[in-house]
Amino acid sequence: MGSKDDDFGTLDVSGEGQVSVKPDRAVIRLAVICEAKSAQEAVDDNAKAATAVIEAIKALGIAESAIQTQGLSVSPIYQYDEARRVNEIVGYRADNAVAVDAAIDLAGKVYDAGIAAGANQSSGISFKIGDERPHRRRALEGAVEAARSDAEVVAAAMGVKVRGPLKIEVDAGGGPVIKVAEALTRASTPVMPGELTVSARVRVSFSYRF
């Protein structure tokens, strides 16, 4: 309960609305890892393999702008020398990771094409909603209805009457939950996106009359 002024007071409540939505976009994460005796050789081998992976993905109709480099590195490979009791550099590892934003129906094909072209590591596939705005509006409507309903229940129990809202706050968060699925390394990889939840939360201060 809030402050009381003459025969009026304030009632603070919160509400949450949720909408289940089938995702329409997938992000496929693939990487090429190459090892060689020299750093230059590892980088050169990696560049060739990564280019082949990207070209295979683009051949599916994926725009170049939808393919983003997530990580690019080269690092030494150490091996412990028991006799000398020291770590020695025995080679180098080059890593090139990319994320591909694609329509759901192309996710499995992108994954398979990348693996077939030379990608040898994947952190899986995540799903998202291309445009969450209409779903968030529905979630906000549900959140406001929930807040109003709670305020009316509390007011009725106390024998007071709810009047108009004095203040409304909308949480900045509440976007869709990104769902991650582990991809399988086999031909015609199945992709089952399921549903995501878009949520919204509001806090409302209502005035009430005794």
Q: Which residues are 169's β-sheet partners?
A: 203
Query: pLDDT of 74-86, one tens digit each?
Result: 999 999 888 888 8
Query: pLDDT of 17-74, one tens digit each?
Result: 999 999 999 999 999 999 999 999 999 999 999 999 999 999 999 999 999 999 999 9
Q: What is the distance between the alpha carbons of residues 55 and 68, in angstroms, rounded to a whole number?
A: 13
Q: pLDDT at position 3, please? A: 46
Q: What are the φ and ψ backbone dihedral angles of 167, each rounded to 5 degrees?
A: -155, 135
Domains, the chain, ranges and CATH? Answer: 4-22+131-176+191-209 (3.30.110.170), 25-128 (3.30.70.2970)
Q: pLDDT at position 6, please? A: 58
Please state, in angstroms and as integers, the Cα–Cα distance from residue 107 to each residue in 71, 110, 116, following that order: 21, 5, 14
Q: What is the distance between the alpha carbons of residues 148 and 166, in angstroms, rounded to a whole number?
A: 12
Mean pLDDT for the chain overall: 88
> DSSP letter at 199?
E
Q: Which is more confidently placed, 6 or 18?
A: 18
HSE on the CB side for 73, CA within 13 Å? 8
Q: What is the distance between the alpha carbons of residues 132 and 171, in angstroms, rounded to a whole number?
A: 16
Q: Of the candidates 21, 3, 45, 13, which has an alpha carbon nearest to the alpha carbon of residue 174?
A: 21
Q: Of the candidates 123, 97, 105, 102, which has an alpha carbon nearest to the alpha carbon of residue 57?
A: 102
Q: Which is more confidently placed, 189 or 35?
A: 35
pLDDT band at 189 (very low <50, low <70, confident <90, very high): low
pLDDT band at 182 (very low <50, low <70, confident <90, very high): very low
Q: Which tokens is 51 given?
A: 């280019």
Backbone φ/ψ region at 124: left (φ over 0), alpha (ψ -120 to 50), beta: left
The b/e string for 175-187 (b: 16+ C-beta within 10 A; e otherwise) is bbeebebebbeee
**Report field, pTM of the whole predicted structure over 0.95:** no
Distance of CA 80 to the CA centre of its chain: 40
Which residues have CB under 8 Å from 48's CB, separation 6+? none
Which residues have CB under 8 Å from 67's CB, separation 6+? 54, 57, 58, 98, 99, 100, 101
Q: What is the distance between the alpha carbons of residues 126 and 147, in angstroms, rounded to a whole number?
A: 32
Please state, in angstroms and as integers, the Cα–Cα distance from residue 133 to each residue in 6, 21, 130, following that order: 42, 12, 9
